[in-house]
């Protein structure tokens, strides 16, 4: 049973060599009377928050540290090989929390969902129909209070979450601008996802100036994925009563000292709502997501771009690639086809 383990806690930018692929020896048999399940992992999801779990997380936190020497855990898609739980049976496909290994014995079944719709790619349950999809759906519809015609800006816009938020917003009739870190990604935003405008933030020396160019009348909604300097520039360009949905701050995850944000007084002057949110408060919305988004996928109304690395041994490189923007679209690791 091949596994990806964390060697030790990480400081600074994570490297492939912070992880190691080993042959695990743990027994994968269910104990007599166990309510757990044994699964074959098919797809693993690379998610930016995983970097935070590679440090020793101190104090009360919704994220717990990984244990050096043990496999990483995260979201994935898997097939049930054996089950001691009445809700799951052999052959079921599931998505939810699993480990970075070929086969897993899962005893915490709370975060697992049975996959009912298999006419779409199974890997989508690590993305548009999984945790990032729920994040985009709940973040946009429940947190941003969007209205037709509003001006919306998204950072890390071509990624797993951003590409969806932009398309949801276009379907609602918003004016949507996204930023991303390469020409290829900017082209995707404009040509594939149908954003009104897009720019490469790495080519802008003056982010405030860039935002003024794309939003001469200001921003109603900012979907925040990166934090730091971008947030500072956005605050200067928000309209009165604007909303900022704070989804993530990926530019800060590798810094020992997070960057200070200078322009928070704008929250007062412009009476801005700035709300942090986390997908796990919105599992109740997931059935709604399936009702709305599955038809969008089937009818081609939403496009979803994935970046699939093949094989568990390529998992560490795929994961660290999130922090240099190597991924184009949702980063997934393919472990096995069904």
Helix intervals (H) in the chain:
131-138, 162-172, 183-187, 207-214, 228-237, 266-269, 286-298, 315-321
Q: How far is CA 270 from the centre of its chain?
A: 29
C-beta closer to ligand NDP: residue 105 or 131: 131
Q: Angle formed by the axes of helices 228-237 and 207-214, to 10°?
A: 40
Give me the 221-240 binding string for ligand NDP, x by CB under 6 A, dash otherwise: ----xx--------------
DSSP 318: H
Give me the 257-296 binding string for ligand NDP, x by CB under 6 A, dash otherwise: --------------------xxx-----------------
Q: Is 185 one of the binding residues for ligand NDP (CB under 6 A)? A: yes
Distance CA 303, CA 79 (A): 26
Distance CA 157, CA 195 (A): 10
Q: How far is the CB of 324 from ligand NDP (least distance, A)?
A: 7
Q: Is 111 one of the binding residues for ligand NDP (CB under 6 A)? A: no
C-beta closer to ligand NDP: residue 61 or 107: 61
Q: Is 297 one of the binding residues for ligand NDP (CB under 6 A)? A: no
Measuring CA to CA, which residue among 215, 165, 172, 167 is closest to residue 194? Answer: 167
Distance CA 151, CA 196 (A): 10
Q: Is 177 one of the binding residues for ligand NDP (CB under 6 A)? A: no
C-beta closer to ligand NDP: residue 105 or 129: 129
Point out which residues bind ligand NDP (CB under 6 A): 47-49, 132, 135, 156, 158-162, 180-182, 185, 225-226, 247-251, 277-279, 322-323, 325, 327, 330
């Amino acid at each position: 049973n091949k596994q990806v383990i964390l060697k030790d806690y990480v400081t600074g930018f994570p490297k492939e060599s912070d992880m190691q692929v080993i042959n695990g020896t743990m027994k994968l048999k269910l104990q007599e009377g166990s309510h757990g399940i044994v699964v074959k992992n098919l797809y693993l999801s690379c998610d930016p928050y995983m970097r935070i779990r590679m440090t020793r997380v101190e104090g009360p936190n919704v994220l717990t540290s990984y244990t050096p020497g043990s496999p990483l855990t995260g979201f994935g898609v898997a097939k049930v090989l054996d089950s001691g739980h009445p809700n799951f049976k052999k052959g079921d496909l599931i998505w939810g929390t699993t480990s970075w290994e070929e086969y897993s014995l899962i005893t915490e079944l709370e975060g697992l969902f049975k996959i009912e719709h298999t006419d779409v790619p199974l890997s989508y349950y690590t993305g548009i129909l999984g945790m990032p999809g729920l994040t985009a759906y709940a973040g946009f519809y429940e947190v941003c209070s969007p209205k037709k015609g509003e001006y919306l800006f998204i950072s890390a816009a071509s990624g797993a979450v951003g590409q969806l938020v932009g398309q949801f917003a276009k379907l609602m009739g918003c004016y949507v601008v996204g930023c991303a870190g390469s020409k290829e990604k900017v082209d995707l935003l404009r040509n594939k996802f149908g954003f009104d405008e897009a720019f490469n933030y790495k080519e802008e020396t003056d982010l405030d100036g860039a935002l003024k160019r794309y939003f001469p009348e200001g921003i109603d909604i900012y979907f925040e994925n990166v934090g730091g300097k971008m947030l500072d520039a956005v605050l200067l360009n928000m309209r009165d009563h604007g909303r900022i949905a704070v989804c993530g701050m990926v530019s800060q995850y590798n810094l020992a000292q997070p960057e200070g944000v200078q322009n928070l007084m704008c929250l007062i002057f412009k009476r801005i709502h700035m709300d942090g949110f986390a997908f796990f408060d919105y599992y109740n919305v997931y059935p709604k997501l399936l009702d709305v988004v599955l038809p969008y996928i089937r009818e081609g109304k939403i496009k979803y771009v994935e970046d699939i690395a093949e094989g568990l041994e390529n998992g560490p490189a795929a994961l660290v690639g999130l922090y240099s923007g190597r991924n184009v679209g949702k980063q997934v690791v393919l472990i096995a086809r069904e």
